[in-house]
Each structure stands twice: as structure tokens, then as C-alpha cells.
């Protein structure tokens, strides 16, 4: 098939937009972290680009999108290992006219950000080397199989028929559930939840949210794989659902807490982006607005679950990505409409009955179970073999200094990572945390 220059140009731009989302996520997570941990938090996103990008070229794409052979619907094969031969495949066989390698690059950016999303749940306490190993193993045995099930001709696509246009199950529920498993294995940060662990740089958070929203237009609209009417539907829905979710979140804050916060609107924006991702090409703009309002309210309350249930999800990955992804995937079963996309399906409110809702629920449930169980096992093995958590002393003095020999800010004569010196400068003597560590030793 002849290369379509318009579609190819759109996909090249979309790929660049989605890649930008991971540095945007680094700012978002970095701003939410404490000052002594910001570099490590951002580094975890950037190294995810390196690790997942290499894995994707070597074998990740093949496992996700090549034919597994025979009746195998669980995982792809290795016939596209190293992308050998794909450079000679001018276009995909789906009629879009985009080169195969452009599709490979586009999908690589999805794998990259999915890995990076998980890191927010374990801020302040994760060994960098262990995170690198985890990233490599996780994208191989968790991300690639689920991507194959949903997008690569696997059993969810072929047998169940659930809808996920741009990654509600593959990216967000998957990452959110994995984040929960990892947080349980690593345990709570020292002092949480008693000690306040507030974001150290809210302008970073807002900058990161803005970059994520900008890149998300490539994430969702680019998933049409063409510059067509479906891309237009996905784009307007990505805009309106996010507006609605951001607004709903700050309304909840105002009614519940008495003030609307910048962290709240940034979190609401991300929750809306997450929730509309699976549904962006399958609901009307009014449906997207309703979906966004629901997601904003639900996720605003869901982030508080960690305090009630006792798991330390540092930067609310579970409450925003897992819960937001579930909301978006399930609401397709209610709001789905073939009026905007004949390739979609009618939800309950469009006269389609509960059949689609059942399919969506099955896809969500299987993703949750597989991602949680396999991630938990991976994390436990890494913890036993090399240790997954930094020492108590390094956690107190600061993971940036301990792991990277750097600090984000120059505090003059007081070294940012020297906990005892900081305590002495501020009030004299050792900090209570240092005394606790010495007592435990």
C-alpha cells in the first residue's frame, strides 16, 4: 500500500507528543515529591524512557503485536525481534498508509509512560538499581502481554470484544494496579502518615500537568492512526472531559475542605485525561463531559483511600490512574455511542443493553488480577535478591544525595541531603528520625 503522507505526518507528530508526556510526568511527580527526593523521582521517569525504549525495539513490540502462532492469544511471538524486516514493510495493513516503524515508535511511547507512571507510588524510598531491573522485567512480562490481549490480536480483542481506544486498561489500570502492588511490597515511608509530606514545588506540578495535557492529544487522537474524523472526536473529547474533571475536583475540594487548590486542579486534570483515554473515540462530546465530571468527583475521593486502608501510595497513582482508568473503561458500557464511531458499540444509555458493560467489566477485572499478581511476585523476588528499598538513613537524609550524589537545590553551606546538619541548623541537636534510626541500630 502507498504511504499516506498526511496520516504519516500526523503520527510522527503524535509520537513526539506522547514521548513529551514522560518528561511532563517527571515534572508532575517531581513537584509533588519532597525537596530531598525530587531528582530521584524525575530520574525514575527518565530512565523508564531508556529501559522501555530499548526493550521495545529488541523484543517488546514483537511480544505485544506480532502473531503468537496457532491458537495462542496470550502473548505475541518473536518474529519481529529487533524489528528486523519491518524497515522494508512500507505500511501497516490496516489501510492507514503509515510506515510500520512509525507505528512501532508510537507504541513505544505508550510502553515508556506506563512504566514511568508506576514510580509515583514509591517515591522517596526506592533503590534506583532495583527500579531499573523492575522496569525491564515489568514491561516484558506484564505490559507486553496485556497490550497483546487488547490491541495486538489477543483474547480480549478477539474473543471478548471490549473497547479500549487509547489505553484505559493497558496503560492506566495496569500502571495503577502495579503501583498498588509495589507500594505494598516496599511498605510505608518513614513517618507516613503522621508527618506532613507536602509537594515541594507546586509550579512544577502545574507545569507537568500542562505538558501531560498537551501530549495527551497525541496519546488519544493519535490512536486513530490517521488524520481523520475519529481523531477529531478523540481530540474534542480529550479536551472537554479533562475540563470537566478538573472543575469537578476543585468543587469537591471547596465543599469538603473549604478551599480549591492548585494541586487539586492539576490532579483533576490528570484524572480526566486518564478516564477519557479508553472512551475518547466511543462517546459523544456530551458523554465525555459527563464522564469527566464523574471521574473528577470519584478520583477526588479515591485518593483518600490510602489513609483509610493504610497503604502508602506516595503520589496518588492508585487513586488517579487505577480508579480513573476503571471509571473510564466501565462508563463506555453506559455512554458508548456508534453515532460518533461505527467501530464502537452502543452502551446502556444508547439502547445497547448491558452486554457492552459486561465486556468492559471483564477486561477491567482480568487486567487488575493479572497486573497485581505478577507485579507483586516480580517486586518480591527483586526485594529478596537485591533489596528494593533504600536504607532508613538514606531515606531520612535524602535519596537524591544518597543515590545520585546530587541535590536539586543549592542551600549554601547546608547540604540538602545532610539530615543531621539541617536539623542542627534549624533547631540544634539530632532530628527525631535520626535518633530513631540509631536506637533501632
Domain that holds residue 223: 5-385
Distance (Å, whole) CA 80 – CA 233: 32
Query: How far apart are alpha carbons 136 and 145 in whole angstroms?
Result: 14
Dihedral, CA atoms, 403, 408, 411, 412, nearest 10 degrees?
A: 80
Q: What are phi and psi of 228, to 5 degrees?
A: -135, -170
Statement to judge: residues 381 and 422 lie in one domain? no
Q: What is the pLDDT of residues 116-147, one digit of tens each?
A: 999 999 999 999 999 999 999 999 999 999 99
Is residue 411 one of the residues assigned to a domain?
A: no
Q: Report cis status (omega within 30 of 0) of the bond before 193.
A: yes
Answer whether residue 26 is part of any domain.
yes
Dihedral angle sign, alpha carbons of residues 109, 114, 115, 119 = positive
Tell me if 391 is assigned to some domain: no
Whether residue 57 is contained in a domain is answered as: yes
Judgement on whether residues 425 and 292 belong to the same structural domain of the protein? no
The reply to whether 213 and 296 lie within a common domain is: yes
Can you tell me the distance from the alpha carbon of 251 to that of 38, in angstroms, rounded to the nearest whole number?
A: 29
What sign does the CA torsion over 347, 352, 356, 358 have? positive
Number of domains, the chain:
2
Q: Specify if 95 maps to a domain.
A: yes
Q: How many CB atoms lie within 10 A of CB 57?
A: 17
Determine the Cα–Cα distance for residues 176 and 417; give it in Å rounded to an integer.
30
Coil, strand or helix at 440: helix
Q: Position of cell 529487533? A: 82
Residue 399 lies in a domain: no
CA 256 to chain centre: 27
Among 90, 82, 41, 27, smallest CA distance to 59 is for: 82
Count CA atoms within 13 Å of residue 96 on its CB side.
21
Last residue of a domain, one of 337, 364, 385: 385
For residue 395, is it within any domain? no
Q: Quick check: is 408 in a domain?
A: no
**Boundary residue ending a domain (363, 385, 407):** 385
User: Are residues 296 and 427 both part of a single domain?
Assistant: no
Nearest to 120, CA basis, from 42, 206, 14: 42
Are 94 and 142 in a shared domain? yes
Cα of first residue to Cα of last residue in the chain, in angstroms, is: 68
Judge whether 371 and 118 are in contact, CB under 8 Å: no
Per-residue pLDDT tens, the chain, 441 aa: give them. 788 999 999 999 999 999 999 999 999 999 999 999 999 999 999 999 999 999 999 999 999 999 876 567 889 999 999 999 887 776 777 788 999 999 999 999 999 999 999 999 999 999 999 999 999 999 999 999 999 999 998 999 888 999 999 999 999 999 999 999 999 999 999 999 999 899 999 999 999 999 999 999 999 999 999 999 999 999 999 999 999 999 999 999 999 999 999 999 999 999 999 999 999 999 999 999 999 999 999 999 999 999 999 999 999 999 999 999 999 999 999 999 999 999 999 999 999 999 999 999 999 999 999 999 999 999 999 999 999 999 999 999 999 999 999 999 986 644 444 444 444 333 444 444 444 444 443
Same-domain status, 369 and 433: no
Q: Under a CB-based contact definition with an 8 Å cutoff, are residues 376 and 137 in contact?
A: no
> Do residue 9 and residue 109 come from a single domain?
yes
Q: Using CA atoms, how far apart are residues 121 and 168, in angstroms rounded to an integer?
A: 18
Asked if residue 175 and residue 58 are part of one domain, the reply reads yes
Q: 265: exposed, middle or buried (C-beta count within 10 Å: 0-12, 13-18, 19+)?
A: buried
375 and 424 co-located in one domain: no
- DSSP characters over 298-347: HHHHHTTHHHHHT---TT-HIIIIIHHHHHHHHHHHHH--TTT-TTS---
Q: Rounded to an integer, what distance in angstroms lies between the CA atom of residue 112 and that of residue 137? A: 13
364, 436: one domain: no
- Does 423 lie in the same domain as 323? no
The C-alpha cell at 178 is: 502495579
Same domain? For 435 and 376 the reply is no
Question: The CATH number of the domain where 253 resides is what?
Answer: 1.10.3430.10
Amino acid at each position: 500500500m502507498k504511504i499516506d503522507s498526511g496520516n504519516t505526518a500526523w503520527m510522527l507528530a503524535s509520537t513526539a507528543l506522547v514521548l513529551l508526556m514522560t518528561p511532563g510526568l517527571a515534572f508532575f511527580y517531581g513537584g509533588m515529591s519532597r525537596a530531598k527526593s525530587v531528582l530521584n523521582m524525575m530520574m525514575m521517569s527518565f530512565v523508564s524512557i531508556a529501559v522501555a525504549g530499548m526493550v521495545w525495539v529488541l523484543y517488546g513490540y514483537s511480544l505485544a503485536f506480532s502473531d503468537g502462532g496457532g491458537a495462542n492469544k496470550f502473548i505475541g511471538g518473536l518474529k519481529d525481534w529487533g524489528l528486523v524486516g519491518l524497515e522494508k514493510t512500507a505500511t501497516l495493513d490496516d489501510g492507514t498508509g503509515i510506515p510500520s516503524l512509525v507505528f512501532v515508535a508510537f507504541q513505544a511511547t505508550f510502553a515508556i509512560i506506563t512504566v514511568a507512571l508506576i514510580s509515583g507510588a514509591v517515591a522517596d524510598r526506592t533503590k534506583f538499581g532495583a527500579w531499573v531491573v523492575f522496569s525491564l522485567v515489568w514491561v516484558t512480562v506484564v505490559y507486553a502481554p496485556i497490550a497483546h490481549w487488547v490491541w495486538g490480536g489477543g483474547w480480549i480483542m478477539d474473543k471478548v470484544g471490549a473497547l479500549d481506544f487509547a489505553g484505559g486498561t493497558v496503560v492506566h489500570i495496569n500502571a495503577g494496579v502495579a503501583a498498588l502492588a509495589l507500594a505494598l511490597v516496599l511498605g510505608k515511608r518513614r513517618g507516613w502518615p503522621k508527618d506532613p509530606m507536602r509537594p515541594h514545588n507546586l509550579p512544577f506540578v502545574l507545569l507537568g500537568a500542562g505538558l501531560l495535557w498537551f501530549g495527551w492529544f497525541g496519546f488519544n487522537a493519535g490512536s486513530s492512526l490517521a488524520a481523520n474524523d475519529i481523531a477529531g472526536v478523540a481530540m474534542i473529547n480529550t479536551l472537554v472531559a479533562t475540563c470537566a474533571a478538573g472543575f469537578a475536583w476543585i468543587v469537591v475540594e471547596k465543599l469538603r475542605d473549604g478551599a480549591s487548590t492548585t494541586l487539586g486542579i492539576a490532579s483533576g486534570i490528570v484524572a480526566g485525561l486518564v478516564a477519557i483515554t479508553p472512551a475518547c473515540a466511543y462517546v459523544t462530546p456530551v458523554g465525555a463531559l459527563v464522564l469527566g465530571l464523574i471521574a473528577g468527583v470519584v478520583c477526588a475521593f479515591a485518593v483518600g483511600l490510602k489513609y483509610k486502608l493504610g497503604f502508602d501510595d506516595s503520589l496518588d497513582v492508585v487513586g488517579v490512574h487505577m480508579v480513573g482508568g476503571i471509571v473510564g473503561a466501565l462508563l463506555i458500557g453506559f455512554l458508548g455511542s456508534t453515532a460518533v464511531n461505527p467501530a464502537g458499540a452502543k452502551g446502556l444509555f444508547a439502547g445497547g443493553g448491558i452486554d457492552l458493560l459486561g465486556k468492559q467489566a471483564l477486561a477491567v477485572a482480568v487486567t487488575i488480577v493479572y497486573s497485581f499478581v505478577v507485579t507483586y511476585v516480580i517486586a518480591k523476588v527483586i526485594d529478596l535478591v537485591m533489596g528494593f528499598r533504600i536504607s532508613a538513613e538514606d531515606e531520612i537524609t535524602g535519596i537524591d544525595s544518597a543515590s545520585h550524589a546530587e541535590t536539586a537545590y543549592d542551600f549554601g553551606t547546608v547540604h540538602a541531603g545532610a539530615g543531621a546538619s539541617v536539623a542542627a541548623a534549624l533547631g540544634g541537636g539530632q532530628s527525631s528520625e535520626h535518633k530513631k534510626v540509631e536506637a533501632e541500630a
